[in-house]
Amino acid sequence: MRVTETRHLAMDGGSSPKVAGRIEKVNIQGPVSGIASPAYIYLPPEYFRPEYARRTFPAALVLTGYPGTAEALINGLKYPQHSHKLVKAGRMQPLVLVMMRPTVAPPRDTECVDVPGGPRTETFFTKDLPKAVADHYRVGKRARNWGVIGNSTGGYCALKMAMRHPDAFSAAAGLSPSYKAPIDATTGDLFGGSERLERENDLMWRLDHKPAPPVSLLVSSSEHGEQNYRDTVRFVNKVKRLNRRGEPTRISSIILNSGGHNFNTWKREVPAALEWLGGRLADR
């Protein structure tokens, strides 16, 4: 991993790293997947304070939609700023945020799938990225130390990667997620014609046919203005039925009265979703 840029943030109290934290732009190399992609790493103020010098931090992968820009997570949805406020208010532990778009093989929308004969996006996010970040920064290396959150395509990716790889992520939040990958001009054939691979990337199908993974999930939608509302209710009810049978998957939801598939809606959901995620990650 190579740091290519450093950004200072302006927060209440100043802009020094010990007060505001710092953002580092890095290039993450994936030796297993063969993918390299840029990311922004938000290091909270505590990371720079002497009393935390021996502390390892929990980390969260933060994903945009497609095509998206990682900068929108900083300037639009303001993940670092919300994280800073939540920690300062005592509502969340400090997290290291790894902010990026899911489009690691542009311009193709790979939906975080290991495409047969194509980009191994899922391997990059679940194998290469956590190891690269943990090797370079003081973050935990276990699934219980890692969460993932995203909106739209990034929300589908978040839920799917936790469900398929509970050894990588223990908690996932999907804001306005879909529950299976679309096949269109931007994706191409994601599954090499394999119905088995397509089913295994369908989250509803997984709940019905695969062992329930020991992960915590959060989904969001709006009763009016969001196309995924009915699917979200279905998904939540399926997980709740698994709970009643003693299965280990846990579900929470944010359902707004009205909203839409847009930044104005996600801005309302990010603080609560981030607080939820931070409360489910361990620092050791």
Over residues 34-43, the pLDDT tens digits come to 999 999 999 9
Q: Is residue 90 part of a domain?
A: yes
191 found inside a domain: yes
Average pLDDT over residues 233-240: 97
Count of domains observed in the chain:
1
For residue 113, what are the domain limits? Answer: 2-278
Residues 245-252, mean pLDDT to the nearest whole number? 96
- Would you say 13 and 20 are in contact if contact means Cβ atoms under 8 Å apart? yes
Q: Is the pLDDT of residue 14 over 90?
A: no
**What local confidence, expressed as pLDDT, does residue 166 receive?**
98
Count of C-beta atoms within a 10 Å radius of residue 208: 10
d(CA 255, CA 59): 26
Q: What's the rounded Cα separation, in Å, for the pair 281 and 94? A: 10
Sheet holding 22-29, edge to edge: 2-8, 22-29, 36-43, 96-100, 59-63, 146-151, 171-175, 216-224, 250-258
What CATH number does the domain containing 138 carry? 3.40.50.1820
Residue of 171, 242, 162 whose CA lies nearest to 203: 162
pLDDT > 90? residue 15: no
Structure tokens of 230?
């009915």
- Give the global pTM: 0.96
Q: Does residue 69 lie within any of the structural domains?
A: yes
Mind listing the pLDDT tens digit for each residue in 118-151? Answer: 999 999 999 999 999 999 999 999 999 999 999 9
In the predicted structure, residue 1 carries a pLDDT above the cut 90 = no
User: Is 253 within a domain?
Assistant: yes
Tell whether 225 is covered by a domain. Answer: yes
Report the C-alpha gap between 102 and 26 in whole angstroms: 15
Residue 284 lies in a domain: no
Q: Is the pLDDT of residue 48 over 90?
A: yes
Residue 283 belongs to a domain? no
The answer as to whether 203 is a domain residue is: yes
